[in-house]
Amino acid sequence: MPTSFSVAGHLIDLHARTTRPVTVHVADGLIERIEPADDVPDRYLMPGFVDAHVHVESSMLPPSEFARAAVPHGTVGTVSDPHEIANVLGVDGVEYMIEDGAQVPFHFAFGAPSCVPATPFETSGAALGPDAVAALLDRDDVPYLSEMMNFPGAINRDDEVMAKIEAAVTRGKPVDGHAPGLRGEGVEKYANAGVETDHECFEIEAAREKLEAGMKIAIREGSAAKNFDELIPLMDEVPERLMFCSDDKHPDALVDSHIDGLVRRALGQGYDRYDVLYAACVHPVEHYGLDIGLLREGDPADFIVVGDPNAPHVQRTYVEGELVAEEGETLISRTSSEVVNRFEASPVSRDAFEVGADAEQMRVITAVDNQLMTGEQIVDSPMEDGHAVADPERDVLKLAVVNRYEDAAPAVSFIQGFGLDKGALASSVAHDSHNVVAVGTSNEALARAVNAVIEEQGGIGAVDGDDEHMLPLPVAGLISDRSYDEVARRYTTLSRFVQDELGSPMDAPFMTLSFMALLVIPQLKLSDKGLFDGESFSFVDRFVVER
């Protein structure tokens, strides 16, 4: 790579809110100077995009491979919460993410996970107390406290929660929030605890309440939770308090688009170009104090070249003066890191998924495609020989969570929404503790899908009779060791098998399945310890006699 070069084009100067012809001179990875020019090519130069909140692990890629997939979309950095791998491996997992990401030209800002485990109502592989969190925050390469999911603890000033928040505040580092469905007095209490952002708003009025309390909002559009359409009107109300994020992006979706897709959608709806680009480029950098350039003299040379500024498709991406993507192709070379994992579960039998009962009715989780929230239904119990069974004709399927850290009996309940006609799917990507979660039409299918994941020591898979499809995830049971394009292809094949052969109507069945054990997002979820009501924050019985 040359130590110096120049690029001419129309500079979209976000701070001055002007667009003008210039020549940008780059030397030793920095913007040396920006000179006015009279005759420039018909292209536009702007700062690179930054994802304001993402779990890199949800892409099923290590950070180095995530970067290779993201830079063709003009992404130059992410605010990354390593919460997922921390739940499996603790501080070692966080260090793995930092070290792997440091191998490539990309700006990863990994936070200190605040909620490991997320709740005491599930089995995780690690725990990070206040001392461990403070030690991570002491690092210069850990610039913030990751999402405080225990919002009841923050509202009620729980000692451990507040110790973690205080550790960030005293070090001058931001505190991220996570409070789905929080409204009313609790919002102000949550913000006053020191929490500064939220990416979990799925209703615009809830976002407005948090904005009024002084928080900033990250508009999320991921593979499961899609809130862009609901929240984008805020761009006309409080553009200075908005960012864009993906939160959880599966590999097929990441190959298709990233923050660039949200920018095109917002501009296509007529929102102000500078407001939209501020949210996509500037606000995350300024809020988190990131060392990412914003196309000013003296900044790191992190910028992109696009054609039409009203529907920007990225032609080139530069990170610290290095050309890392051109015309949709990554130029970052593949790297490798040591495979790390923790997987102790033994194979399970079909009988482990039997549910004995004589109750007339039962609680059923209702899953909603493209949403993290679930509901609850009371349905008549489908029974055979004194056992509750799946009833695919009514879309009443069995949901199971199997402890991956030690041998234990599976937790089994029932769910609607996946629409399987036959077979089962299973995954060791199961937020937040990443035990094995599975949904299926029979005990036999559940056992086969779960055991396929256990045999691989982590992965996602689907089965029907003798037909089996697997994507192994050998790194912490969350991440593949293959290239991003291969992972995307295999993930797409798996999803299509579930949709076309097993009958699921869901757009993202594996992403939706991965959130069915996420207890901190209401309403009804299943942990390895039992059926859990996220509103009362307590376990509930599977069966009821009366509504």
The Cα 136–Cα 124 span in angstroms is 20
Neighbour tally for 229: CB within 10 Å: 12
User: What are the domain boundaries of the chain?
Assistant: 48-284, 350-544
Neighbour tally for 134: CB within 10 Å: 18
Q: At what angle do helices 204-212 and 185-192 cross, to 10 degrees?
A: 50
Q: Which secondary-structure segment (H or E) carries 67?
A: helix 63-70
Residue 2 pLDDT: 53
Helices (H) and strands (E) counted in the chain, each on its own, are 16, 31
Q: Which segments of the chain have a pLDDT < 50?
A: 547
Is the Cβ–Cβ distance between 338 and 191 less than 8 Å? Answer: no
Give how far Cα 339 sits from Cα of 29, 89, 314, Å.
32, 12, 33
Query: Which amino acid is residue 459, in one-letter code?
Result: G
Give the CA angle between residues 421, 425, 429 to the nearest 5°: 150
Q: Which residues contact 449 (CB under 8 A, 6 or more apart)?
A: 423, 424, 425, 426, 438, 440, 461, 462, 463
Neighbour tally for 406: CB within 10 Å: 10
The Cα 400–Cα 28 span in angstroms is 54
Structure tokens at 507: 């757009």
**How many residues make up the chain in this entry?**
547
CATH architecture type of domain 48-284: Alpha-Beta Barrel (3.20)
